Structure 1
Amino acid sequence: MKHSTQVSDSLGLGLLLTLSGGFMDAYSYLFRGKVFANAQTGNILLLGINIFEGQWENTIKYLIPVIAFSIGIAIADIVRRKLKERKSIHWRQIAIVTEAMILLLVGFLPQELNLVANSLISLVCGLQIESFKKIRGLGAATTMCVGNLRYATEWLCEYAYTKNQDAIEKGWLYLAVILFFVFGAIIGSICIKYLGQYSIFICSMILIVGFISMFYDKEKIMQSKQE
């Protein structure tokens, strides 16, 4: 499989972001009132059901995170357009450190402010899914699994018929991404049990590690080009 030299779509960073994606979804669902921070399909479904049932308080509970998710996507697009030519720091690094800072804020919000907390987490997920769209040159999502599961199955079926080694590598990559999402959810669940609302700080730390790793990966790419 041909690997991209883009710092932002390295395998290590992609798996870290996927780990954080699973963590955030577990945190918002288990600790913040059973709202999906990442999978807006679930929120939109529950939004429709609550509108039909006239449950207006719950309608707001699911509507605001969907709007926040869209705002996160828009912010990422604006940052990309404004800062993509900057040499000293990549615009995606600005996005990831912003995510980490927002999650730190979420950790200080009591459960009485779950709507605010879930909206901020959804905004972070919107930022992340728009900023990091690929892993090793392949389109992949780090905050949800439906598309990744589809691509994993397609590539594994391709290998079953053609025995193409590239196809099996791509299939395994998508399966690894899904597995790390599950790991993130498991780690999030464990942290919630012992740390409660402050467990989201762990997710923030994961993103900071990703931010730092982008400097390291950039240095490696520059060295390989010189060689």
Structure 2
Amino acid sequence: MTPVTTRQFRPLTDTILALGATLLMGVIDADTFLEHGEVFVSAQTGNLVVGVVKLLTAGWQSAWTNGFVWIGYFLGCFVAQGLSERIAQGNHRRQMRWLMLFDVLAYAGIASFQVVLPDPWLIFLLGTVAGYELTIFRQVGGIAINNGIMTGNTKNLATSCYQALVNRDSLARQRVLRLASVLVTFLLGCAVGVWLAHLAALDVLWVASGFKLLLLAWLFVPAAMEKPMA
């Protein structure tokens, strides 16, 4: 019988996409916090806390951008859910390629117009892309993660550690490693974002666009797919 290639990516591919998104979320959050008025585009818990603090200490003129980016983030999650339900539902490979292509084009478009975009709109669009990414790319080693919200990941890491150490749960040990990898990747992204923000602020989004393009290219590499089935 002639081998038939499945319509699925290897689990490693979903992990690469999720960790890639996590890394970039750390990069962009660090950059926007430093360069755009202490605003987060993916870490909405922190963003809302900072927004309320600004509102009560400096007034709405200082705080409104934090609320504006929250709306963008909400919109990104909404759009991502709609696209994932309508694009190539029966073909996961084609679906993820299209969804990643939209992600690449969004980053490249924002990077191209970042000089002329008013700062609040730049942050709004980055928040929209962050919401899109968190909704689409969130599987690491077969478990769902929050690749821009480390509060939930930390809670899950703590409970998994208990199950692994006290209950001797082998599956929990695997979750510990995967959740730890997400936290470390996000922190690494933050460190890279700080470095890039101080090195050349306008290059951060182009670096992100290039990185996303590499992830898109990976989706067309045979090694990204499951092996043919006999």
TM-score class, shorter-chain normalisation, is 0.7 to 0.9
Question: Mean alpha-carbon deviation: is it higher for 46-55 or for 116-125?
Answer: 46-55
Question: Mean alpha-carbon deviation: is it higher for 46-55 or for 94-103?
Answer: 46-55
Question: Mean alpha-carbon deviation: is it higher for 27-36 or for 80-89?
Answer: 80-89
Contact 1:7 1:214 (C-alpha < 8 Å) held by counterparts:
no
| Aligned residue in 2 for 1:67 | 71
- The residue correspondences of 1:106-145 to structure 2 (distance < 5 A) are 106-107=110-111, 108-110=113-115, 113-145=118-150
Q: Does structure 1 residue 192 correspond to structure 2 residue 197? A: yes
TM-score with structure 2 length normalisation?
0.84
1:33–1:50 distance in 2 versus 1, CA, 3 Å: closer
Where structure 1 has 5 or more consecutive residues not aligned to the other structure, the ranges are none
Tell me which protein shows more helix as a share of its residues: 1
Equivalent pairs counted in the alignment come to 222
1:192–1:47 distance in 2 versus 1, CA, 3 Å: closer
1:179–1:168 distance in 2 versus 1, CA, 3 Å: same
| Aligned residue in 1 for 2:43 | 39
How far 1:176 sits from its partner (Å)?
0.7
Question: Mean alpha-carbon deviation: is it higher for 47-56 or for 201-210?
Answer: 47-56
Where structure 2 has 5 or more consecutive residues not aligned to the other structure, the ranges are 1-7
Distance 1:187 1:72 in 2: 24
Query: Which residue, out of 42, 56, 59, partners 1:55?
Result: 59
- CA-to-aligned-CA distance 1:85-126 (integer Å, 9 cap, x gap): 364953333333322322233334238722111111100111
| Aligned residue in 1 for 2:167 | 162
| Aligned residue in 2 for 1:82 | 86
- CA-to-aligned-CA distance 1:167-209 (integer Å, 9 cap, x gap): 2121011001110111111111112222212222111222222
Query: Which residue, out of 15, 21, 25, partners 1:17?
Result: 21
SS in 1 for 2:104: helix
